[in-house]
A and B are shown apart, each in its own frame.
Chain A
Amino acid sequence: MRKSEPGSASRHTRVGERLIGALLFASGALSIVATVGIVVVLLTESLGFFAEVSPVEFLAGTRWSPDLVPRSFGILPLVNGTFLVAAGAALIALPVGLATAIYLSEFASIRTKRTVKPALEILAGIPTVVYGYFAVILVTPVLRTLFPGVGVFNAASAAIVVGIMILPMVSSLSEDALSAVPGSLREAAYGVGATRFEVATRIVVPAGLPGIAASFILAISRAIAETIVVTLAAGATPGMTLDLLQSVQTMTAYIVQVSLGDAPSGSIEYRTLFAVGLLLFLITLALNLLSQRMTTRFRESFR
């Protein structure tokens, strides 16, 4: 917040000053317009959808078949696909990311940090379409050689690559959390004879736990929202399978499928896009708010 103000007795106050203030306010208020826009667009089109499909069928139905007669709009297969890929990705990214964070914060020399951190930053800056290419061209063929019978599209390939994609997010946010643990805690533990390993795992990690949890939740939210990798690698077969070697369709991949198909405005296909988008928006919003709350609590605990 600004601390100083121009003198109120200034004789040079011009109309222009007020106009500029108003313009700047308008650009600030645009963010509210964007949020309202997102909510209104998702809600109005979804309301049209729910006029034809009951919310109970949508949320509890286990068959997703929006264009084949008999039509069925149970979203659980898409939710299942989304969570299957996200869980697989989390299985890779959370332990590897946390171990990387512990190493960087507690063990690594400055020289190691100087090489590893930029590498992770590059990994974080690579566009998702490149990860998608990586999944299709590299990971899927390897999986198909290792496990005969794996299809061209499978959840495992998407999960592995999404895991690598969210890894830098887990490691950098968790490292921030671990580095924020006050040195006095470590010194106290060393003072009573703990080894470096014990200090890291019994003192620093528990103290940084809310921050670590926040990074985990944010990374999972990112995996749930991931679109391109799952569209390219996991395919378009909505199903209730928990088999990572099968093709699945995620909520995001379905949204892409509809928008590539050129559904006319007002049709039920066009509206499913918004209903699925609304659910995706609500899930990620809930996870992001949860993550923010944990970060705030974490900061307060060391104040």
Chain B
Amino acid sequence: MSPGAPRGGRFDTRLEARRRAGIRFMWLCRLAVAFGVASLVVLLVSLAADGLPALSFEFLTSYPSRFPERAGIRSAILGSAWMLALVAVMSFPLGVGAALYLEEYAPTNRFTTLLKTNIANLASVPSIVYGILGLAVFVRFLALERSLLAGAATLSLLVLPIVNIAAREAIRAVPDSLREAAYALGATRWQAIRHHVLPAAMPGILSGTILGLSRAGGETAPLLIIGALTFIAFDPLSPMDPFTALPIQIFNWTTDPRGEFHALAAGAIVVLLGVLLMMNAAAILIRNRFER
């Protein structure tokens, strides 16, 4: 407690001292802000310095290799692309369907409340726990092995709550007058949703889905747990193929004691961050257009 503060009914008017304490505090806060911003700058600058020189056409189109000068991220890029496509196909209909049920169909009762609380809690389950679930259910029980499908199903469970929560917000924001107008013209509930609610909510739903996908694209832990840390020097051609992905490749190269591979990790990070930032920017653009 600074000595110049009002306390116990007595009023301290040493304004100069109190102002100085305020200024000192503000600089302390500025220091904190600078720490966060500086961390980002250091991170990005060091990545650019180490990663950009590693980028080349060969790097993007070669398979991983024991020899750093020949190693590339072809199979990792293809694996990540497959993964994102499969996660989108699984999580979009399920997440939006659940959102439509909760916002348009569900009666107000304890089961609905339970569903909502449950989804909120699922959103904060550690990603490594989803990995354990995927290992036990998809990899072993359903015998999908270490396939793209097993990885995508695991990541879909992980992003479903994110997609669902975003979609619910977007659907809730659609004014009721739209539904009423449709009903007044004789539309059924699904017709009103299909032709009026969904189109109006679509920008919000899409931006939430893209954010969920960008989360899935950067996830490493669940894929490690289901056993995706393998050497893949071929193109994955079907959902049942084994795979690698950009985060896995980065993890692998970072653990390599040979320093040459660290530059490759930085190169792969530049590619990954580039893709994820573009996805996030797309989500923000879609949302802003919608708000206007």
Contact = CB atoms under 8 A, between A and B. Distances in A.
A35 B225 CA distance: 19
B231 to A, nearest CB: 13
Interface string B222-256: 00111101000000000000000001001100110
Contacts of B277: 122, 125
A133 B250 contact: yes
Contacts of A256: 128, 221, 224-225
B160 A31 contact: yes
A37 B50 CA distance: 43
Contacts of B25: 197, 200-201
Contact of B129 (A29, A259, A281): A281
Given A28-B115, A96-B32, A227-B221, A138 B42 contact: yes
B53 interface: no
Interface residues of B, number: 102
Given A5-B183, A130-B269, A265-B140, A125 B276 contact: yes
A16 interface: yes
Contacts of A195: 15, 18-19, 22
A196 B180 CA distance: 49
A35 B157 CA distance: 10
Nearest to A39: B133
A284 interface: yes
B115 to A, nearest CB: 6
Interface stretch (B63-71, B95-103, B201-209): B95-103
Interface residues of A, number: 97
Given A7-B186, A108-B33, A277-B128, 6 more contacts: A38-B130, A99-B29, A119-B40, A127-B219, A133-B262, A133-B269
25 contacts: A2-B104, A6-B189, A13-B188, A17-B190, A25-B101, A27-B97, A28-B115, A34-B133, A34-B160, A99-B28, A99-B31, A100-B36, A112-B33, A128-B220, A138-B46, A192-B6, A221-B124, A227-B224, A228-B251, A255-B225, A256-B128, A259-B135, A265-B140, A284-B126, A288-B124
Interface of A: 1-7, 10, 12-14, 16-17, 20-21, 23-32, 34-35, 37-38, 41-42, 45, 95-97, 99-100, 102-104, 107-108, 112, 116, 119-120, 122-123, 125-130, 132-134, 136-138, 164, 167-168, 171, 192-198, 200-202, 218, 221, 225, 227-228, 232, 252, 255-256, 259-260, 262, 265, 273-274, 277, 280-281, 284-285, 288-289, 292
Interface of B: 5-6, 11, 13, 15, 18-19, 21-23, 25-26, 28-33, 35-37, 39-40, 42-43, 46-47, 50, 93-95, 97-98, 100-106, 108, 114-115, 118-122, 124-133, 135-137, 140, 157, 160-161, 164, 176, 179-180, 183, 186-192, 214, 217-221, 224-227, 229, 247, 250-251, 254-255, 262, 265-266, 269, 272-273, 276-277, 280
